[in-house]
Structure 1
């Protein structure tokens, strides 16, 4: 199972022609590992998941498999989602035969499946991957909102270990009341409003800002979970990190900072970043 309370949602590196730079992506993961990061999410968040083709995702998984030190010592979670269920199934089958630790299962944008269709989609992909799975509900990006009933139903699947962005506080409370297991986790997607989310039952973090300040973000989040006092100095540091990352387009800001450190994370795929 996935034991880390914080994972870093890493951006995918792209060359100037917008083709995938797999080694650039891995260089960033290696750098995070050297800084003590124990878990990363690849091809999952940061808005790039649906821009990657099935073949590009498979090439990234192949490259990760060759990184023995990373695979052996990190929880590597891989984002699985597609507008076409068949493609998500193919990726899930590929991941099944790797040492990747788990999957984050996103829902297809635009097509608006019914709740029943979404549950069948999830169960099929999770079965094929045979890996611990975090459900990823992101109605702001996809237009689809996984219902409380569906989340509770999917929580009965042993491999489902949690959900990222379950919804508002009332929804989280009702889901918690409907799930009869202690090992189901609620992941906050990014650091924005995370203090409030922790108060309402979120207990894990899918971090964006951790790409640039992993130690500070992890220590801060752990303090929030433990209800420990955050000092003025720590609070100012976090505020500064948040301003750097989230003022404007977070993924564009991240890449600018990471590139400046000498790691070739490259550009975003337009239209993201096309005004910079």
Structure 2
């Protein structure tokens, strides 16, 4: 107990000296920084060894030196312990996250392989589908061509003019069959003078049946481009008369104007009289 009091007195004396010295230093100038060289380090090492021997000697004599821990150190140790536990928790969390990432990476690799296989199968299926579509298109085109060839009437003579002549002969004997023969000429020999003549002759058959509007359509098709054949002037007058009969006077007058400009000079007096009569009926000026 006496030794403890002695140590306490010595400590109080040291603290008092430090306080007095601190006050004196505060009133004077601050001490210069310590320059740690080899000599000072050796001196510090010798002093530390002396303190260790003194403490060992007192402990061996049954007078232990009790050193109370600093409260700030204790608090700091507590905070360090808390941080250490949190760090361990974070390490465990990171390990779990790494495990999850590894599993996700494995799953992603499997998904990539599956997607690659699906893309390959899809490309193969698309190729097969395109091949089937091409085959279907070719088959449909061939079928349509065959149907069109089967539906197209065959030429009885192999010549447009001869087919037209045969149709005209047949028309005088059997109007229904003659009309079908004329229509076959327009199908078998399109864009030919024989097809144009067949068109307006079909118009005559339709007009004889009382269908003025249908006849006008046939005449108009035959006169596209205003042909120069001998029948063109007469067919133009038939077109004008059909337009006037179906109450289309302006169009009838326009057709008569084309007749006057293109065909009147080479027409017969009878045709020119028909043109004059049609113009009066349509109130042409």
Name the TM-score class by shorter chain.
under 0.3
Q: Calculate the TM-score normalised by the size of structure 2.
A: 0.21
Q: Calculate the TM-score normalised by the size of structure 1.
A: 0.22
Larger Rg: 2
Q: Relative contact order (alpha carbons < 8 A, sep ≥ 6): 1 or 2 greater?
A: 1
Question: Counting helix residues as a fraction of each chain, which structure ranks higher?
Answer: 2
Question: Counting strand residues as a fraction of each chain, which structure ranks higher?
Answer: 1
